[in-house]
Amino acid sequence: MALIGYGRTSTPEQDAGVQLDALTAAGAERVFLDAGQSSRKRDRPEWIECRKYLRAGDVLLVYRLDRLAGSTDMMIELIHELGESGIHVRSLTEPEIDTTSPMGRALFGMVAVFVQLRVDTIRQNTRDGLARARSHGRIGGRPSVQTPEMIAAAAALRGGGASFRRIAAQLNVSEATVRRMLRARDG
């Protein structure tokens, strides 16, 4: 029986140090870490490698269940798939989740529902916040680099026969930006 750790961050900028430290302290022989990967994706590179590495009798350690899967359905499916292969799952921050015992498997099902509630609540709060911001005239995202002067310069250069590539290089923007500027101006 080997203890194998798996961690995941949602964005590359997030620090995985807490997860790595906890998994190592819990005795993980090897830790797989996906950085900047959505919990909804099944084809996370390190998860795929971790799954190949796991053998019957091993215990997969995760810091929290939401590091493994982002929906109840996906989590239940993963736990079932791992169980079919003789692999158990243990959560370090949810110690009642330990599929090596019948009670742990039962509690897993209940906790999975709350994990899904948490994910859905965060998603709904984000949607509500974005809708409110839009209703107040804020749209988010990066500020546009386009200025009326830049659009006029692009139009003049294009009218003079310049290629999109040349215009983009001269204005220090992408070709796609040049095309959008001219399309918006003509549209």
Average pLDDT of the chain is 86
State percent of the chain over pLDDT 90.
Answer: 42
State how far the alpha carbon of 126 is from the alpha carbons of 49, 53, 61, 74, in Å. Answer: 32, 36, 30, 22
- pLDDT for position 187: 66
**What is the residue extent of each domain of the chain?**
3-122, 148-186
pTM here is: 0.57
What DSSP element (H or E) covers 110?
A: helix 102-135
Check residue 169 and give its pLDDT.
Answer: 92
Q: What is the mean pLDDT of residues 166-186?
A: 89
Catalytic residue list: 10
Q: Which CATH architecture has domain 3-122?
A: 3-Layer(aba) Sandwich (3.40)
